[in-house]
Copies of this chain bind each other. A is one copy, B any other.
């Protein structure tokens, strides 16, 4: 029905422009690279460009050791809103800087990730923004990066000597917990999310400073949680810590687990929207009122989403993507770059209120 021949790619070259304009290819090349040419020539060149719509071939200029203007972005999963937000930021800033973005999704698999890195490094990239799959150790095939400028995003301390861009997880955990404390709540649960469960809730306090835990975002926030508790003189209770996953059902489980431990709790910090939803739904089923009996704070980004009812720690993910591109650009230009830690902010909504006096203990 629909036919389409593979017509000749009539990509005109600099020689064609030279022929049409009467200007040598060298002068044309200089013109394209911003060097000054004779005004009379410039007029002619612009005219021919207007007529032909010619653009220099990126591939050819890349061969000559120039930048291609293409940067790579590797995410674990583009369908996850968290990574999609970062990708959006990356693309916005890339567009500002006139760069293009080659995207790879590792589908949560380290094997695929390695394969993508391999293909990327063989491609015409100027640099790479890399969001590793969760596991910290055993970053795949670092040699595959060759000498590509590299930025690690959304994780902390993964690859030595490489700039990382991440948000202030400890500060976020601190803000969230302190907010609940300020509402008169002192029995505050912490629901930590992991892709792979690293240890049990009773072991977390002892293990959380180990190097192997370094890159987990939940751990960073946990540090802030501890700090806020200590500051308020609230004793740490491992029974208030739940270790689970990232999904809706994990939030449901978390509420059940707390109930099963017979610990009373009047505040909770969760890592994601989905977990908070599950937790809240289950808490209500178990007879608690939210936010009166239990106030909920979560971590999320909120770019122009309406109807947001949860109190949350706002992560600036779009900015994180933008900052990553900016950092990578520094590297590509040959300058040095360092880690960037983005601030987080507390946004108070409907799921956290002052503890009613009668419920107080």
Interface positions of A (Cβ within 8 A of B): 1-11, 53, 55, 57-60, 62-63, 65, 68, 70, 77-79, 81, 84-85, 87-88, 91-92, 95, 98, 100-105, 107, 112, 115-116, 119-120, 122-124, 143, 146-147, 149, 161-163, 247-249, 278, 303, 306-307, 331-334, 336-339
The 7 closest A-B pairs by CB, nearest first: A6-B334, A55-B122, A59-B59, A103-B103, A59-B62, A248-B307, A79-B84
CB-based contact A332/B59 at 8 Å: no
CB-based contact A4/B55 at 8 Å: no
Separation of A5 and B146 alpha carbons in the complex (Å): 10
Separation of A10 and B78 alpha carbons in the complex (Å): 32
List the B side residues contacting A70 at CB < 8 Å. Answer: 102, 123
Pick the most buried of A79, A306, A307, A336: most chain B CB atoms within 10 A of its CB.
Answer: A79
A–B complex contacts, Cβ < 8 Å, 15 sampled: A1-B338, A2-B162, A4-B161, A5-B334, A9-B65, A58-B59, A58-B124, A59-B62, A59-B63, A79-B303, A81-B81, A87-B103, A87-B105, A91-B105, A248-B307
CB-based contact B79/A79 at 8 Å: no
List the B side residues contacting A337 at CB < 8 Å. Answer: 2, 4
List the B side residues contacting A62 at CB < 8 Å. Answer: 59
For A85, give the chain B residue with the smallest CB separation.
B79
List the B side residues contacting A107 at CB < 8 Å. Answer: 92
Pick the most buried of A57, A85, A112: most chain B CB atoms within 10 A of its CB.
Answer: A57
CB-based contact A58/B163 at 8 Å: no
For A332, give the chain B residue with the smallest CB separation.
B6
- Contact A81 to B78, CB < 8 A, known contacts A60-B63, A249-B306: no
Q: How far is the CB of A284 from chain B (nearest CB, A)?
A: 15
Separation of A11 and B331 alpha carbons in the complex (Å): 18
Q: How far is the CB of A81 from chain B (nearest CB, A)?
A: 7
CB-based contact A307/B78 at 8 Å: no
List the B side residues contacting A102 at CB < 8 Å. Answer: 70, 100-103
CB-based contact A116/B95 at 8 Å: yes
CB-based contact A4/B84 at 8 Å: no
CB-based contact B88/A105 at 8 Å: yes
For A308, give the chain B residue with the smallest CB separation.
B248
Q: How far is the CB of A144 from chain B (nearest CB, A)?
A: 8
List the B side residues contacting A68 at CB < 8 Å. Answer: 59
Separation of A23 and B137 alpha carbons in the complex (Å): 40
List the B side residues contacting A338 at CB < 8 Å. Answer: 1-2
List the B side residues contacting A8 at CB < 8 Å. Answer: 147
Separation of A206 and B161 alpha carbons in the complex (Å): 65
- Contact A4 to B88, CB < 8 A, known contacts A58-B123, A248-B307: no
Separation of A4 and B81 alpha carbons in the complex (Å): 32
CB-based contact B78/A336 at 8 Å: no
CB-based contact B336/A2 at 8 Å: yes
CB-based contact B124/A6 at 8 Å: no
Separation of A54 and B29 alpha carbons in the complex (Å): 31
CB-based contact B103/A101 at 8 Å: yes
For A60, give the chain B residue with the smallest CB separation.
B63
Separation of A168 and B78 alpha carbons in the complex (Å): 25
Partner of A307, one of B65, B278, B303: B278
